Amino acid sequence: MSKEHDHIWQQRIAEQLDGLQYGQVIVTVHDGQIVQIDRTERTRYPLTSAKESDDRHSVSKHKAAHRRLASS
């Protein structure tokens, strides 16, 4: 690969890394040549306690049941 091609691929890889907080960048090489770049980005959300999650689920089930009864 020429230095010009090296520079182009370095730029492409750097662009994929730019702003990536969680995830991966995969560089695929065939016969010594870069042929593909894949970027997988993950989004992390703050953890909530199991009790908070259960409470919200119970409230939403209760509201749905109430709506069904009200529409009958």
Q: Is the pTM of this model over 0.85?
A: no
Nearest one of 13, 14, 42, 15 to 28, comparing CA atoms: 13
pLDDT of residue 3: 82
**Average pLDDT, integer, range 20-29:** 96
> For position 28, what pLDDT does the model report?
97
pLDDT tens-digit map of 46-58: 887 666 666 666 6
Task: List C-alpha distances in Å: 38 to 5, 12, 20, 44, 54.
Answer: 18, 11, 12, 20, 37
